[in-house]
Structure 1
């Protein structure tokens, strides 16, 4: 496990195997449950983009060997994360997937979240939180690949087969949130730009705001400094690792 010097709070875990084990979420006291619901209602009133849908939270992380990670996960809804604002309450970290989409010239696509999201203006890799499967169904790496491929199609209009996505790294960052990062096959920057423009135009045609409002291409962490606004905590460490692998 390595850490970026620029952002020491983010662990980059260079694993090639991932195993997911479902675990029950912790039981909340009556007081913490009521406080969570009160905070969630306040947040949802301030930001109507928030949606209390099904989502996966992380319950544990272990590394039996340097190349394998075992993730415990639980079925919750988005209001679980409001517990972070409740003193004394234990809020489970979130689990999200995203995609490193390279171009033919070795740059990486990064994207800015729109006002229709929970983090407007933040730069990150295309992706999102993981929804938990139907009752009785299991969650595995193949399911995460499908989730990542769906996000890539919805946000950027890029139709990549899930099996073409390669597990590239995991990160543990803000609030202990776990990111599972996949790498996609390279594509021309012009094609990626055209697909994204088509997604934005399609949303505008039906008077909707897309999830992403801008994309850019970066080669090194230094390129990120030109992108104004907040950055996802994992972004610089992953861009740095990607640039070092290319060298």
Structure 2
């Protein structure tokens, strides 16, 4: 089966292997570029913590087999996504990695983003946007697992070896965003709480605002309704699938 994109109603898919290929950013007209820059500058005035750093966007996907996905990626900066608010402009979907971190009681860890982030108060899995490799280097499965492991230790103070993170699912969400979800080994609840406090203290010691301000352990997707604040569009699907599997 080969498709250029996910079906419109597809939110979560089993994927065991990724094949990655670099592609280019679509051309942007002068009019759209000017409008994009205005949108970005307004966003920065509203949230000065925003940074126009390098990031990877998704240029498309093709299914190479039942559980093998070819993913095309492009080098952009965060400013690129301001095109979503420019009528008629084309913006690539974002590409991110996140980590399904279970505890030893079979619950799923959800984290809440702090007020200084681009998604204040949102509940999601630990993770972040995919970063591009150095020019000449490759972006492959091992690199992506390594980025997921780095997000886990930076945000949650929990270390995991790259090889211990297994690609568990691919999600498709708002604006066609593609999420690569890696499953980590189970941890005790006390370890997860201690890790969060350690990571928050380390951020403050560096003069930075912590990315996370709370965590929750979910035994069932229905418990999402008890969390104060919005949650990422993929979170309910991920929690439901994991807890249903026991």
Which category describes the TM-score, using the shorter chain as reference length?
Answer: over 0.9
Query: Aligned partners of 2:26 and 2:120: how far apart in 1?
Result: 30
Q: Please name the residue that 2:85 is paired with.
A: 85
Deviates most, 206-215 or 137-146: 206-215
Contact 1:9 1:174 in 2 (8 A): no
Counterparts of 1:143 and 1:33 in 2: how far apart (Å)? 31
Alignment of 1:110-189 (within 5 A): 110-189=110-189
Write the deviation string for residues 118-141 of structure 1: whole angstroms up to 9, x where unpaired.
000000000000111111212111
Q: Hey, what does 1:29 align to over in structure 2? A: 29
Match of 2:74 in 1: 74
Aligned partner of residue 131 in structure 1, secondary structure? coil
1:16-51 CA deviation, whole Å, 9 max, x = no partner? 111111011111111111111111111111111211
Higher mean C-alpha displacement, 191-200 vs 53-62: 191-200
Residue by residue, what CA displacement relative to the aligned partner does 1:81-112 show, whole Å, maximum 9, x if unpaired?
A: 00000000000000000000111110111000
Question: Does the Cα contact within 8 Å between 1:170 and 1:181 map onto a contact in 2?
Answer: yes
Gaps of 5+ in 1: 2-7
Match for residue 4 of structure 1?
A: none
Report deviation, 1:9: 5.1
TM-score (norm 2): 0.94
What is aligned with 2:64? 64
Aligned equivalent of 1:231: 231
**Mean Cα displacement is larger for which, 197-206 or 69-78?**
197-206
CA contact (8 A) 1:95 1:177 kept: yes
C-alpha distance in 1 between matches for 2:163 and 2:124? 23
Counterpart Cα distance in 1 of 2:120 and 2:227: 14
Distance 1:16 1:208 in 2: 36
Q: Confirm or deny that 1:49 pairs with 2:15.
A: no
- Measured on the aligned residues, the alpha-carbon RMSD in Å equals 1.4
Alignment-derived partner of residue 5 in structure 1: none
Does structure 2 retain, via aligned residues, the 8 Å contact 1:103–1:188?
A: yes
Distance 2:30 2:204 in 1: 44
Unaligned runs of 5+ in 2: 2-7
- TM-score calculated relative to the size of structure 1: 0.94
Give the 4+ runs in structure 1 shifted more than 4 A.
Answer: none
Q: CA deviation at 1:208?
A: 3.1
Looking at structure 2, the residues matched to 205 and 69 of structure 1 have their Cα atoms a distance apart, in angstroms, of 41
Q: Structure 1 residue 74: deviation in Å? A: 0.3
